[in-house]
A and B are shown apart, each in its own frame.
Chain A
Amino acid sequence: MGLLGEAGDYVMLMRQTFKRPDKGWVFRRQLFIDFYALGVDSIGIVSFISLFMGAIIAMQMAYNIDNPLVPLYLVGYTTKQMMVLELSPTIMSLILAGKVGSSIASEIGTKRVTEQIDALKVMGINPANYLILPKITAAMLYFPVLVVFSIAIGLSGGLLAVYITGSVTVTDFIDGLQAWWVPFDIYYSLIKSVVFAFIIASVAGFKGYTVDGGSVAVGRSSTQAVVASSILVIVFDLILTQMLLT
């Protein structure tokens, strides 16, 4: 299937997905399950990576600022800007594309090869709506929360790093965090995270839903979901940056 054909199939699947659920309470229950399985379970990896990312940026900035004319609070400022604008929304999304994207694609793909999707269809249920919509909704709700969480943990990591290494004083670092505060930066970060959440969950759902074959095909679709959504996240990062920051 060509790229254009696949894009057409993706749009058709999204049309099936974005319909009113048959039963509201069944949808809400599924949403809660997905929110927990995909979101809450990701807190550990997000915390770990964010903490180290923040620490590493702070240490690298401190190491690179060796000009006495450059104020040291720039270490805190740069760490904040990098975490808020790029690392938390984009790098976290790329990591979640691997974790969440592969999980969604393999779960739905397994349902396809074991005829569970056919079973839903012959019961008169819209399988795309039942399986994919709660995952997309859950992802779009929890990605921004995870991003805010990642920013907080990352900045704490930076603070911890400068405190332990003594490269910059804690006061300087905190001054940097507070300097030139632009609230729109947070909105920009959250907007990106919502868009990336949609891309990751919908592309993974599509790849899983269209699996054709057996367990090997499920594995392949899972890999394709991660690769395709990662590429789209980077492309849309550029587009959104151009649209929102220039």
Chain B
Amino acid sequence: MIEVENISKSFGGQAVLKNISTTFDKGKTNLIIGQSGSGKTVLMKCCIGLIEIDKGVVNFDGRNFSGLNEKKKKNTRKEMGVLFQGGALFDSFTVEENIMFPLNMFTKQSIEEKLQRVNDVLSHVNLDNANKKYPAELSGGMIKRVAIARAIAMNPKYLFCDEPNSGLDPKTAERIDDLISELTEKFQMTTVINTHDMNSVLQIGQKIAFIHKGELWWEGDHQEILTSDNPELNEFVFSTELTRRLK
């Protein structure tokens, strides 16, 4: 479980996160939703330590993470997998080398063991024959799947996904959502997904935190979100004709 306690962050005097407290549960897909500019990406980056928080604490299974220096954060970071919005694959490496990279850096496995692990995670994301391809040769959906494979290569306890289905067609987006959800359940990870995609929210949102103007505005699940009377949340959720009809 990840606990976020009273975290605040400002840039140039402008408050982006205001005293946010929430928890992300183990074995669940926890979603952070909100409009563009609401602060959800900053919240995720604060959780994974890419942005230093001004105030508050982030705990991973009771262990304080945000207060540690870079050297001490390293151990917790080895337990994290992060899927970046654009995949962030290393463009000079093949798919195989990308996935093997964390194994090379942090394990003493033999090359055979590492290759076995690469093939295992690639089969989890249904990319069995992509080992020798370079990121430039992959489609958007494949890049996301390779990035997921790399993120889970070290058997992480915590998986963070920043806009995992942005730029993908609805069908591929749904596949990525299903994949993340399946992996979360199978490996009992604490998964945090940053999204503004309503299909994802309704499909895999086991726990949802709605961020509005840098504040935690609402929390619930994908059932409760449809019946909430929170006006700002409703304005966000039912902003399209399709979702209004669904309601």
Contact = CB atoms under 8 A, between A and B. Distances in A.
Interface in B45-83: 48-50, 70, 73-75, 77-78, 80, 82
Contacts of A114: 86, 88, 91
Which of A114, A119, A121, A125 is the most central at the interface, judged by chain B CB atoms within 10 Å of its CB?
A: A119
A33 B92 CA distance: 11
B91 A116 contact: yes
A213 interface: no
A23 B104 contact: yes
A115 B74 CA distance: 18
B14 to A, nearest CB: 17
B78 A124 contact: yes
B102 A123 contact: yes
A29 to B, nearest CB: 9
Interface in A119-167: 119, 121-126
B84 A119 contact: yes
Interface residues of A, number: 17
B: contact size bracket? 20 to 34
Nearest to B150: A119
Contacts of A116: 88-91
B242 interface: no
Contacts of B102: 123
B246 interface: no
Given A23-B104, A26-B105, A123-B105, A118 B88 contact: yes
A23 B91 contact: no
A125 B88 CA distance: 15
B91 A115 contact: no
Contacts, number: 51
Interface string B89-122: 1111000000001101110000000000000000
A122 B86 contact: no
B85 interface: yes
A229 to B, nearest CB: 23
B105 A119 contact: no
A26 B88 contact: no
A110 B101 CA distance: 19
A165 B77 CA distance: 67
A115 B105 contact: no
A121 B50 contact: yes
A79 B82 CA distance: 58
B84 A123 contact: no
A122 B82 contact: yes
A115 B106 contact: no
B126 to A, nearest CB: 22
A1 to B, nearest CB: 13
Given A26-B104, A114-B86, A122 B80 contact: yes
Contact of B86 (A33, A115, A123): A115
Given A115-B84, A116-B91, A122 B105 contact: no
Which of A110, A115, A126 is the most central at the interface, judged by chain B CB atoms within 10 Å of its CB?
A: A115
A212 interface: no
15 contacts: A22-B105, A26-B105, A33-B92, A114-B86, A115-B85, A116-B88, A118-B82, A119-B82, A119-B90, A121-B49, A121-B50, A122-B50, A122-B77, A123-B101, A125-B105
Given A115-B84, A115-B85, A116-B90, 14 more contacts: A26-B105, A33-B92, A110-B91, A115-B88, A119-B84, A119-B88, A122-B48, A122-B49, A122-B80, A123-B102, A123-B105, A124-B73, A124-B74, A124-B106
Interface of A: 22-23, 26, 33, 110-111, 114-116, 118-119, 121-126
7 pairs of A and B residues whose beta carbons are closest in the complex: A124-B77, A119-B88, A115-B88, A124-B74, A115-B84, A122-B82, A116-B88
